[in-house]
Amino acid sequence: MLPVAEAQQRILSTFAPLVGEVVGIDRAVGRVLSAPVVARLSQPPAAVSAMDGYAVRAADLGALPVKLRVIGTIAAGIAPAVTLKPGQAARIFTGAILPGASDTIVIQENCDRDGDHVTVREGSTTLGQHVRAGGNDFRLGEVGLEAGRLLSARDIALAAAMNWPSLSVTRRPRVALLSTGDELQHPGEPLGPAQIIASNGIGLAAFVTACGGEPINLGIARDNMADLHRALDGARGADVLVTTGGASVGELDLIQQALKDKGAKLDFWKIAMRPGKPVMFGTLGALPVLGLPGNPVSAIVTATLFLRPLIQHLLGQKGIDTQPVFARLGTALKANDQRQDYLRATLTRGADGSVVASPFPKQDSAMLSLIAKADALIIRPPHAPAAKEGDVTEILPLSGGCLGI
């Protein structure tokens, strides 16, 4: 059985990121940049006022009060047509460009206006106050966002301010999803007495979407070679093929043979982990193939460990936080065997503010109801010794819980 880290490494080393495509900026949130965003202008374009008030020359503001002549009004969006001479001021609004020879803004609350004149009554007279220099935010040619960045709403605002109506992003990896099993039926369809709902394909499609990929649901293949061969042909044109079920050792676990019949080269098919031992990885021509176990929890845990990094790799995504996360155990755990454990757990805050991870008493890899409720997976390395309540353990946070947003 292969260690988890080695399996992850082997999957990623096989493939290069996909090419870029151009999308409208209004559709780019959640995508990964394939080229840096470089400022196409300076912001602000020239020195502007940060306040509503009067543009003045600091040299005119000796001991207050000081009376100045107002020679014009400048609003945001209007290029100033005036230049101040000694003893002059201009009415100005937030965001407006300073008139020539002015260097300082006084706020209107500190002034008294009387016709063509303004008296600066009180307040600070510091040179340059309330002035935003040209290029204060960014300058023409400056790199705002690096290639490989997963675009947040804040990034989109910055890219828009840098004058980009569209952005180059990595094409979404197309992930074909094939469920296998005679017992499976689509949600909402009539169910025989021994049939269950095929939840894996639908759950994994949502998972792929959440990771930035584009799911292609190939439906359900029945447990016979003819149907499996037919279904595998449906993966043509995809960037990744993911199968679930049929990965174990029973006579009806046929996916490995079906893939071999199609010419797939298998790299590994057993990992020292629980849940998720029968994970298979190989290539079908240039297509990466990930065979996940049928047990619903095993499928989600192994997708988190192997499919998510593969999608991120194909997206060229950088800056992924790979630092381990730790918590205190909410209950004691016995010594582990040779498989790395991923225990479904809730996260809470202890009295001292530390994060407490409490595993569910049941860790059945068929219990979707518990993985749905879990906030994290407690990672127990192979042969980990027994642990006490309060001991520090590594966790893999899922969404939700006290670490979630």
Ligand X SMILES: Nc1nc2c(c(=O)[nH]1)N[C@H]1C(S)=C(S)[C@@H](COP(=O)(O)OP(=O)(O)OC[C@H]3O[C@@H](n4cnc5c(N)ncnc54)[C@H](O)[C@@H]3O)O[C@H]1N2
Minimal distance in Å, beta carbon 149 to ligand MOO? Answer: 35
Nearer to ligand MOO, 39 or 371 (CB): 371
Contact 42, 93 (CB under 8 A): no
* Upper half-sphere CA count for residue 298 (Cβ side, 13 Å): 26
- By CB under 6 A, tell whether 365 contacts ligand MOO: yes
Minimal distance in Å, beta carbon 240 to ligand X? Answer: 17
Which of 33, 19, 8 lies closest to 309 in space, CA to CA?
A: 8
- Which residue blocks in 218-283 are alpha helix, DSSP H? 225-233, 255-261
Q: Per the structure block, which two tokens stand in for 150?
A: 């997963």
Q: Which does 296 bind (CB under 5 to 8 A by kind): ligand MOO, ligand X, none?
A: ligand X
Minimal distance in Å, beta carbon 333 to ligand X? Answer: 20
* Contacts to ligand X by CB under 6 A: 179, 181, 183-184, 196, 198-201, 244-249, 253, 275, 277-278, 293-296, 298, 365-366
Q: How many CB atoms lie within 10 A of CB 65?
A: 12
Nearer to ligand MOO, 120 or 272 (CB): 272
Q: How many CB atoms lie within 10 A of CB 160?
A: 15
- Give 221's contacts (C-beta < 8 A, 6+ positions apart): 178, 179, 180, 227, 228, 230, 231, 232
Phi and psi based region of residue 92 (left: phi greater than 0; alpha: psi -120 to 50; beta: remaining): beta
Q: Which does 288 bind (CB under 5 to 8 A by kind): ligand X, ligand MOO, none?
A: none
- By CB under 6 A, tell whether 201 contacts ligand MOO: no
Minimal distance in Å, beta carbon 286 to ligand X? Answer: 25
Nearer to ligand X, 34 or 365 (CB): 365
Minimal distance in Å, beta carbon 276 to ligand MOO? Answer: 5
Contact 393, 379 (CB under 8 A): yes
Q: Which does 200 bind (CB under 5 to 8 A by kind): ligand MOO, ligand X, none?
A: ligand X
* Upper half-sphere CA count for residue 345 (Cβ side, 13 Å): 30
Dist. CA 181–CA 224, nearest whole Å: 9
Minimal distance in Å, beta carbon 31 to ligand MOO? Answer: 33
Nearer to ligand X, 34 or 295 (CB): 295
Q: What are the b/e assignments for 188-223, b being 16+ CB within 10 Å?
A: eeeeeeeeeebbbbbbbbebbeebbbbbbbbebbbb
Minimal distance in Å, beta carbon 77 to ligand X? Answer: 58
Distance of alpha carbon 353 from the chain centroid: 27
Q: Which does 316 bind (CB under 5 to 8 A by kind): ligand X, ligand MOO, none?
A: none
Minimal distance in Å, beta carbon 295 to ligand X? Answer: 4
Dist. CA 34–CA 38, nearest whole Å: 13
Q: Which does 131 bind (CB under 5 to 8 A by kind): ligand MOO, ligand X, none?
A: none
Nearer to ligand X, 129 or 195 (CB): 195
Contact 254, 221 (CB under 8 A): no
Minimal distance in Å, beta carbon 31 to ligand X? Answer: 29
Nearer to ligand MOO, 130 or 274 (CB): 274
Residue with tokens 């169910």: 191
Residue with tokens 């493939």: 15
Minimal distance in Å, beta carbon 213 to ligand X? Answer: 18
Q: Which does 196 bind (CB under 5 to 8 A by kind): ligand X, ligand MOO, none?
A: ligand X
Nearer to ligand MOO, 247 or 310 (CB): 247
Q: Which does 245 bind (CB under 5 to 8 A by kind): ligand X, ligand MOO, none?
A: ligand X
Nearer to ligand X, 145 or 289 (CB): 289
Which of 273, 242, 246 lies closest to 257 in space, CA to CA?
A: 246
Dist. CA 5–CA 12, nearest whole Å: 11
Site for ligand MOO in 250-309 (CB under 6 A): 274-277, 293, 295, 298
* Upper half-sphere CA count for residue 332 (Cβ side, 13 Å): 5
Nearer to ligand MOO, 148 or 276 (CB): 276
Contact 56, 108 (CB under 8 A): no
User: Residue number with the shortest CB distance to ligand X?
Assistant: 294
Nearer to ligand MOO, 99 or 245 (CB): 245
- Burial grade of 51 (CB within 10 A; 0-12, 13-18, 19 or more): middle
Q: Which does 88 bind (CB under 5 to 8 A by kind): ligand X, ligand MOO, none?
A: none
Interface ranges with ligand MOO (CB under 6 A): 274-277, 293, 295, 298, 365
